[in-house]
């Protein structure tokens, strides 16, 4: 009986691992590798928790080990559908910022002028979904002091939702869409992260729009996600018009900090 019970327990672990893989994956998008051409990369965000910011640099060949070249645009402007205007100004690190706190349902517009060329984008901030709880659990086969991180959320049933989430202890990022869990209470696992008992971590959940989900999904699924997006092996689907790489995202933010047990 003990052997049967152990076999059942082992089977349960494998089922849980299989479900973890399913719910951590999203629709696969095929991308084509091409010859590298130096291009402008834009990373710009508006959130409901911090100042708007934008960074600008030049793209690099895949597997490049050099730091990206930071560039200075002539104009960096964010407006919204209420008629508000926010001029972003660079700090000492050439990160452009402005005091903008985003609001749900508001559409934000980005305008960048660099070397005489104009780049534009827009993003609407989705309804906020907060983290209900954050926790850790021990996965089969890991060390006794190693844990996997996870969060619980209540997904709204009245709309399509897209999420991006990550831990302060890891470089990995995750995306998820609610087509399998629409309207239910569910756990999102950070399956590639193993943390130690006693570690303190902050897990951040972003509610993003579909265009940004598709952008991050390509980066993550093709294993190209690192601290900068300037050396991807293929060009993810950008929501920026004008030919630049990168993204512009208006999103809400939920965070929880806890000690791993």
- Residue pLDDT, tens place only, 170-218: 888 999 999 988 999 999 999 887 899 999 999 999 999 999 999 999 9
Q: Kindly calculate the radius of gyration of the chain based on its CA atoms and give it in whole angstroms.
A: 20
- Rounded to whole angstroms, the Cα distance separating 156 from 179 reads 11
pLDDT tier for residue 36 given thresholds of 50, 70 and 90: low
Do 212 and 219 meet the contact criterion of CB atoms below 8 Å apart? no
Instruction: For residue 95, give the nearest of 23, 136, 42 by alpha carbon.
Output: 42
Q: Is 218 helix (H, G, I), strand (E, B) or coil?
A: helix
Whether 19 shows a pLDDT value over 60: the answer reads no
Whole-number pLDDT of residue 193: 79
- Rounded to whole angstroms, the Cα distance separating 225 from 188 reads 19
- Rounded to whole angstroms, the Cα distance separating 97 from 75 reads 12
Whole-number pLDDT of residue 22: 44
Domains and CATH numbers, the chain: 40-124 (2.60.40), 131-259 (no CATH)
The number of CA neighbours under 13 Å toward the Cβ of 127 is 9
Q: Is the dihedral of CA 65, 66, 67, 72 positive or negative?
A: negative
Q: Is the pTM of this model over 0.95?
A: no
- Residue pLDDT, tens place only, 130-170: 999 999 999 888 889 999 999 999 999 988 999 999 999 98
DSSP secondary structure, 148-200, as one string: EEEEEEE--SSS--EEEEEETT-S-EEEEEGGGTTTSEEEEEEEEEEEETT-E
Whether 260 shows a pLDDT value over 80: the answer reads yes
- Rounded to whole angstroms, the Cα distance separating 48 from 134 reads 21
Mean pLDDT of 18-35: 46
Decide the pairing of beta strands 146-154 and 185-196.
antiparallel
């Amino acid at each position: 009986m003990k052997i049967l019970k152990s076999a059942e327990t082992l089977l349960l672990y494998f089922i849980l691992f299989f479900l973890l893989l399913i719910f951590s994956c999203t629709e696969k998008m095929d991308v084509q590798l091409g010859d590298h051409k130096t291009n402008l990369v834009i990373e710009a965000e508006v959130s409901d928790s911090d100042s708007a910011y934008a960074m600008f640099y030049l793209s690099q060949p895949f597997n490049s080990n050099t730091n990206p070249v930071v560039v200075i645009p002539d104009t960096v402007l964010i407006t919204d559908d209420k008629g508000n205007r926010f001029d972003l100004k660079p700090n000492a690190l050439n990160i452009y910022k402005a005091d903008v706190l985003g609001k749900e349902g508001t559409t934000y517009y980005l305008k960048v002028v660099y070397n005489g060329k104009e780049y534009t984008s827009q993003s609407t901030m989705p309804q906020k979904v907060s983290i209900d709880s954050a926790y850790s659990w021990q996965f089969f086969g890991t060390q006794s002091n190693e844990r996997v991180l996870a969060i619980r959320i209540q997904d709204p049933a009245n709309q399509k939702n897209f999420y991006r989430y990550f831990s302060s202890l890891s470089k990995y990022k995750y995306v998820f869409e609610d087509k399998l869990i629409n309207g239910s209470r569910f756990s999102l696992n950070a399956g590639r992260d193993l943390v130690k008992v006693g570690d303190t971590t902050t897990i951040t959940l972003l509610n993003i729009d579909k265009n940004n989900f598709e952008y991050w999904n390509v980066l993550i699924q093709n294993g190209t996600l690192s601290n900068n997006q300037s050396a991807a092996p293929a060009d993810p689907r950008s929501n920026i018009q004008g030919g630049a790489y990168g993204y512009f995202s208006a999103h809400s933010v939920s965070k929880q900090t806890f000690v791993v047990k």
